[in-house]
Amino acid sequence: MLTTIDLPEDLLRQAEAEAARRGVDVQALLQEGLRTVLQQSPSRETADDADPPAWFGQLRRYATNVRGHHDVAAIRASIDQKCEP
């Protein structure tokens, strides 16, 4: 698929130099870079440490026993403890 990407001139020059050093074209270098970034980046759906939604901070008063920063399971357990009769 053909696409157009707007790159700053200095970044393109660096990419061209790196591609030449590796003996590949810029297209191959960009493809490799995208694959590397995408493999290293956890998806938002599976990341345990993803940023919580804005309303998440309002649960703080219910989650007094939570030690983890964004540990949803610990917060649920703490809420369950508060809700028991």
Note the pLDDT of residue 44: 52
Q: What angle do CA 55, 59, 65 make, to 5 degrees?
A: 150
**pTM of the entire structure?**
0.48
23-81 pLDDT, tens digit per residue, is: 999 999 999 999 998 888 766 555 555 666 666 666 666 655 555 555 667 667 766 66
Name the CA radius of gyration of the chain, rounded: 23
Residues 57 and 79: their CA atoms lie apart, in Å, by 14
CB atoms within 10 A of CB 43: 8
Q: How confident is the model at residue 84 (pLDDT cuts 50, 70, 90)?
A: low
| pLDDT surpassing 90 at residue 10 | yes
The Cα-based distances of 45 to 20, 32, 50, 75 in angstroms read 38, 24, 8, 19
- The tokens for 24 are 């590949």
Q: Where are the domains of the chain?
A: 9-40, 54-83
